Every structure is written in structure tokens, then in C-alpha cells.
Amino acid sequence: PFDVLVVGGGPAGAAAAIYTARKGIRTGIAAERFGGQVLDTMAIENFVSVSYTEGPKLATALEQHVRDYEVDVMNLQRASKLVPAKTPGGLIEVQLENGAALQAKSVILSTGARWRNMNVPGEQEYRNKGVTFCPHCDGPLFKGKRVAVIGGGNSGVEAAIDLAGIVAHVTLIEFDGKLRADEVLQRKLRSLPNVDVLVSAQTTEVRGDDSRVTGLVYTDRNNGSSHTLDLEGIFVQIGLLPNTEWLKGTVELTPRGEIVIDERGATSVPGVFAAGDATTVPYKQIVIAMGAGSTAALSAFDHLIRTSAP
């Protein structure tokens, strides 16, 4: 069995595996797709101390760094079930979709999350060419330009307020008849001179000139009429879905599916820790996921020296 089994090979999982391997304990990492969301990213300009890199390059560097150590890397493996230890300090089992079962004294969950898509024509085609999910990452790319934010929940309204300070103009588009964000955020939003809010509006198409986004089409749900907005950027903020469906009923999750952790990365199951976008960590970013992965790893190590027989 492993001393530590990491499930998930994004920034959080890679950091966790490096930290535990450096303690000289038997470490495995099982990932459906090593690199995680980083593989879907183009320019990265907020990976602190690296002015500019690109997702696939960072993903390769993550895997390279992990392979510098004696880590058992199991790529293209999807976990389907977690079975807690039968006795305190006993072995925890992680079952894989291919039927295999891995055992470990402690487990670090770092299965990340995925952004909900609008599922409209043009969205995939113009991903990273104007269609984006992350105002913290990509906001500065649209300095002085016109953008839309899709989604009127807290993250959409926060994104619109954030972007209004950088871009020329923001249109916030909400499907429902009213915004769902906290009142204080809505008040702040409405005070901004360069923001328009459209409610009961359904985005139906992303338009572009083959290389970049040039606009979007929406339907006014009150009367069915169709309208076009000319703009350069579209920030989709309609939900981040944690990859935790397989943990339901075993590990405590929030109603939104985030793994509940404490400040040490401990979950509700003894010996099971978690890190990154799959958890209740407040901000979902690469450097934050790496820090959280390191925290979970050090906590797992601490757990092992307290529970393992000498």
C-alpha cells in the first residue's frame, strides 16, 4: 500500500505528491488527465515569479517535477469510489473505474473542478480567443475593450465589478428575471457608469472573425426578440462544478459539491485530506491550488507520524 495516495494530477495534486515524496514516504498519484485545467489554458500571467507561461508548458513542468521523485504516476485513471479505513489508522481504499483498487494509509483528494459552459454555437471555437472563465487571469487582456459577463450570481457580479475597473464597458447578462448576487454587490454594480445589466436575456451565439470574438447574440426572453452586442471578450460565470460526484455520501461536501476542509486541508474522513478547486478554498487559482496541495501533503505526513506504528 501507499503511505499517501493523491487522487488528481492538477497543480494541487502535483504539489501534494512532490511534498510527500520529499518526505521519503511511498507516494502514488492517480489522475484522469495529468495537468488538469492547466492543459486547457493558454497564456498564464499570474503564476507568481513567472511573468508569462502557457498551460501545456506548465503541465509538462508539473509532471516533470513529480517524476524527479519516486512517485508512482498512474495517468488516465479515474477514481470512482473512496472507502474509509475500517479501523482508526487502517488502510483507505480508492477504487478505480477500470476495476482496480488502490490502498493507502492516507489519501489526498485534488480532483479539481470544471466550468459550466453556455453550450451555444461559437463558444468552444472561441475559447481562449475571447471566451474565458477567469477575470483574475484574463481581465488585463481586455484593457480598454468591451466585454460581457454571463451570469448574475455572486461570481458574475463580482467579475463585472472587477472588470469595470479595467475594460471600457461591461454588459452583464442574466438568464433569470433578476440577479441572484448579494444585495451589496448589486448596489455596487449599479453605481458603476460603464456597466449595463440585462436580465431575462439568453445568450444564443458567440460571434467571431475566425481568430477573435467580435460579439454575441442574445434573446430577450420577455418578447423573443434577438439582439447583437459588439464586443471583444465574454466571461462565462455560470458555475464551477467540483469533480466530487464520486465522493457523495462518503466525504462531507457543501450543497454545491465542494469538499469541506479545515485550514490544514483535513476532510470529514480521518486520514483523508483535500486541496484545490475541488474544496471549499475561497479562490480557485493555480498558485492557491499549489499552496493548498502542499498544506494537505504536510498534514497527511503529520497524520502518518501520529498514527503509524513505529
Q: Which residues bind ligand FAD (CB under 6 A)?
A: 7-13, 30-34, 36-38, 40-41, 44, 46, 78-79, 110-113, 115, 133-134, 137, 243, 246, 276-278, 284-287, 289
Rounded CA-CA distance 123/239 in Å is: 16
Among residues 111 and 203, whose Cβ is nearest to ligand FAD? 111
What residues contact residue 305 under an 8 Å CB cut-off, 6+ apart?
Answer: none
Among residues 95 and 154, whose Cβ is nearest to ligand FAD? 95
Rounded CA-CA distance 23/169 in Å is: 51
Q: How far is the CB of 183 from ligand FAD (least distance, A)?
A: 28
Q: How far is the CB of 294 from ligand FAD (least distance, A)?
A: 12
Q: How far is the CB of 199 from ligand FAD (least distance, A)?
A: 27
Among residues 89 and 257, whose Cβ is nearest to ligand FAD? 257
What residues contact residue 61 under an 8 Å CB cut-off, 6+ apart?
Answer: none
Bridge partner list, 79: 96
Give the amino acid at 267. Answer: T
Helix axes 183-190, 154-164, angle to 10 degrees: 30
Q: How far is CA 281 from its chain centroid?
A: 10
User: Which residue's C-beta sits nearest to ligand FAD?
Assistant: 112
Among residues 19 and 133, whose Cβ is nearest to ligand FAD? 133
The label of the residue with cell 478547486 reads 277
Q: How far is the CB of 31 from ligand FAD (least distance, A)?
A: 4
Among residues 45 and 252, whose Cβ is nearest to ligand FAD? 45
Q: How far is the CB of 215 from ligand FAD (least distance, A)?
A: 21
Nearest Cα residue to 172 out of 12, 154, 183, 21? 154
